[in-house]
């Protein structure tokens, strides 16, 4: 296949290009910029690590992109694709969008949480939320790749929520992320002298991934009113750990809880359920895995779920490749590493 990438110079775009360049079903990759102007930029100039990939970053011209490619990946910041994707959606051209612009079906909710004007409602309704382990029954050709915090949280919660085993108003999520999760653009919080040997709790109950989490949870159980959600920046390059606390509807045995997770994930190639063994971020670094462990305290009647992912892989580019494989009926694991980077 001939693949286009819009936004290959950011962190998610870098990883996406890396994965696609090794995908057995990808013949060529064409890169495009959304800033306009002439083709005077090259990938290796902006990403020195890709020294051997001297590829032009071409101007964004929808007609030419659709004529020369079979599918478009968008790895842009929020607020970009909402203004660019109408020609592709109208033509029913396949797009996998890693930004947040098409994840929320309600424009008013997008504007409240992203503080930007939303895409038109008639375009939003053409998009499908692409949580790869839980694909929609009738997916569209425009897949909105989930956010990193949302992926870790939803995969941790899904078995118990879908089986209606929890008290709907009891969900508390304490999520922590590495610095690459905030993207390539410099900020005071991403500077070494700020985050080294530090931890910074930010956007408590205000993070833009909360509404997509709630949107999906309510698809599974409409009785969930809200979640308590905190996000903390920690001094690692990549990785997310979501520690989720909730109250079960009744007292369960460990075996009952294990059985629930095994039923959902034993056949999922990229979710590894580890029962009472609680995973670490290092267990998934550089991979597309989501590792999940649980602990049940019958004294406090509280279930703790630990869900870890690599934010640039399962939380972005890796899941995008998973969705690509689903959309094109390729082998689920094509183009994706089957082991994490360790040590």
Residues 327, 138 contacting (CB under 8 angstroms): no
Question: Which residues on adjacent β-strands are paired with residue 201?
Answer: 232
Q: How far is it, in rounded angstroms, from Cα 154 to Cα 282? A: 20
Short-list 129, 148, 164, CA closest to 242: 148
Distance (Å, whole) CA 98 – CA 96? 7
Number of H helices, E strands in the chain: 11, 15
117 vs 114: CA distance, rounded Å? 8
Tell me the H-state helices in 203-282.
210-220, 254-265
Catalytic residue among 148, 260, 290, 328: 148
Q: Is 260 a catalytic residue?
A: no
Which of 101, 81, 89, 153 has the alpha carbon at shortest distance from 315? Answer: 153
Which residues are known to be catalytic? 148
């Amino acid at each position: 296949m001939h693949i286009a990438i819009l936004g290959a110079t950011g962190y998610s775009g870098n990883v996406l290009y890396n994965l696609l360049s090794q995908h057995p079903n990808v013949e060529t990759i064409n890169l495009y910029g959304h800033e306009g102007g002439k083709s005077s930029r090259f990938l290796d100039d902006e990403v020195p690590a890709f020294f051997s990939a001297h590829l032009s970053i071409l101007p964004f011209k929808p007609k030419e992109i659709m004529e020369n490619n079979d599918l478009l990946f968008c790895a842009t910041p929020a607020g970009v694709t909402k203004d660019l994707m109408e020609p592709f959606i109208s033509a029913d051209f396949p797009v996998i969008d890693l930004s947040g612009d098409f994840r929320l079906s309600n424009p008013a909710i997008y504007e409240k949480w992203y503080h930007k004007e939303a895409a038109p409602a008639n375009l939003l309704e053409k998009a499908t939320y692409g949580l790869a382990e839980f694909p929609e029954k009738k997916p569209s050709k425009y897949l909105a790749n989930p956010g990193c915090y949302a992926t870790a949280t939803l995969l941790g919660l899904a078995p118990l929520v879908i089986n209606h085993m929890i008290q709907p108003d009891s969900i508390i999520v304490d999520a922590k992320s590495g610095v690459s999760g905030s993207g390539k653009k410099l900020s005071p919080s991403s500077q070494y002298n700020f985050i080294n040997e530090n931890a910074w709790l930010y956007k408590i109950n205000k993070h833009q991934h909360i509404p997509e989490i709630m949107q999906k949870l309510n698809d599974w159980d409409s009785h969930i009113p809200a979640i308590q959600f905190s996000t903390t920046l920690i001094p690692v390059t990549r990785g997310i750990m979501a520690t989720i606390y909730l109250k079960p509807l009744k007292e369960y045995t460990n075996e009952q809880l294990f059985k629930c997770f095994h039923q959902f994930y034993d056949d999922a190639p990229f979710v590894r359920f580890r029962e009472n063994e609680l995973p670490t971020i290092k267990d998934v670094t550089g991979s597309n895995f989501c590792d999940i462990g649980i602990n049940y305290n019958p004294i406090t009647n509280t279930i703790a779920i630990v869900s870890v992912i690599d934010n640039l892989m399962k939380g972005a580019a890796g899941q995008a490749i998973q969705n690509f494989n689903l959309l094109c009926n390729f082998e689920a694991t094509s183009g994706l590493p089957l082991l994490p980077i360790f040590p």
